Amino acid sequence: MNAHVVVFGATGYTGRLVVESLVERGVRPVLAGRRERPLNQLACTLGGLDVRTADLAEPDSVRALVSEGDVLVTTVGPFERLGDVAADAAAAQGAHYLDSTGEVGFVRRLQKRYPAAASDDAAAPGDAPRGTMLPAFGYDYVPGILAGSLALERAGDRAETLRVGYFAPGAGPTGLSGGTMTTMLEELSKPFLVWRDHRWQKPGRIPRQHTFTVDGAKRSAVMVPGSEIVFLPDAFPKVANIEVFNGWFSAPGPVMKATLPVMAVAGSSSLARKALGKGITALTGSEGGPSASERAKSSSLAIAMVTDSRGETVSEVHVAGPNVYTLTGHLLAAGAEHVLKDRSRARGVVGPLQAFGMEGLVELCASAGLREVSPGAAR
């Protein structure tokens, strides 16, 4: 029986971008979600794709979406609240798994539940996942892992600290989807960890900042969680510190420092969540995210800087691609196609580098439009 790619959440904002990218690649995905009517409508517009319904409230229906060797791509979040059902379904059925999460707590939870093993590891436990599981395989956080891996490889033994910055050149206040805004609100209300002195540590509830040079201008970015701190320490055990920053917002340092604690407090209040939810809808519109014309105005950029024990920069890598949502759709589609063709060399929860190796990751990202560029060449 031929294996299939199943997109769960296919009619959502990100899900539809994944589906469209798969179709462009010549892959005919199965569309899955709760409501049959919008699934059928989308299927008809894309040449009569197959449709299956499933509901997270009924885990058996999600397990029924896939069989061994299939690929389950899910965009249904927030993942810390909703993601376990789909991940568990893929693992139970022996299917491969990819998701669009930006929630590092969820990534770590899956990693503990389904630890990695080599594809040919006969000593792996009998109940170990038979498929490759790739959480956070979109703009969160493949660009940073690509840039960080290249920078660390070039720095060699001099690497002490890796700092990764994420930017979205050209994106305005309406450039965020409702899902992104909701996840950012929830993540800002939680403590998180960084990789410091070769171990997990808490940086504090109010993230500190770092300055990167983007197109010749200094840009302030705020510390955030990132899956770089989950997957890169194993690949580069000599690096002592890994920190991830988000520079989407162009506000100066003092404004950023004043805004973040307010958002964090709002994130812990149900009333504030409802009020901010209305604001999110107003900003993102009925599509739930930026339109195609809005996406065309912006690009994505990740910068990786490696410093030595004296704080001197020893390597710097910039990778750039299309708009962050367009890129997420392309990356998930490319990743699904690669594991469908058995190009992954690991199973269980792994990072992009562990799954595909450096050469394979560079090739996969290039096929999604994400490539290394010279500093200042992001647009």
Amino acid identity of 207? P
How high is the pLDDT of residue 267? 44
- Check residue 256 and give its pLDDT: 46
Q: Which two tokens stand for residue 364?
A: 């996969």
Domain residues of the chain, as ranges? 5-138+328-361, 142-323
Note the pLDDT of residue 159.
Answer: 98
In 50-138, alpha helices (H)? 59-63, 79-82, 84-93, 104-113
- Check if CATH label 3.40.50.720 holds for domain 5-138+328-361: yes
Helix, strand, coil % in the chain, rounded to nearest 5: 40, 20, 35
Task: Give dist(CA 205, CA 260) in Å, integer.
Answer: 10
Q: Tell me how far the alpha carbon of residue 143 is from its chain's centroid.
A: 9
Strand bridging mode 30-33 / 5-8: parallel
The neighbour count for residue 101, using CB atoms within 10 Å, is 28
Across the chain, which has 379 residues, the per-10-residue mean pLDDT values are: 94 98 98 98 97 98 98 97 98 98 96 87 63 98 99 98 95 63 61 87 73 93 93 97 85 48 48 49 57 94 98 98 98 98 95 98 99 79
Are the beta carbons of 42 and 11 closer than 8 angstroms?
yes
Instruction: Give me the architecture of the 142-323 domain, per CATH.
Output: 2-Layer Sandwich (3.30)
Alpha-carbon span 18 to 368, nearest angstrom: 11
Residue-level pLDDT at 243: 94
Q: In the prediction, which pLDDT does 117 show? A: 87
Q: Report helix, strand or coil for 174.
A: coil
**Same topology for domains 5-138+328-361 and 142-323, yes or no?**
no
Q: How far is CA 99 from the centre of its chain?
A: 7
**8 A C-beta contact, residue 245 and residue 161:** no
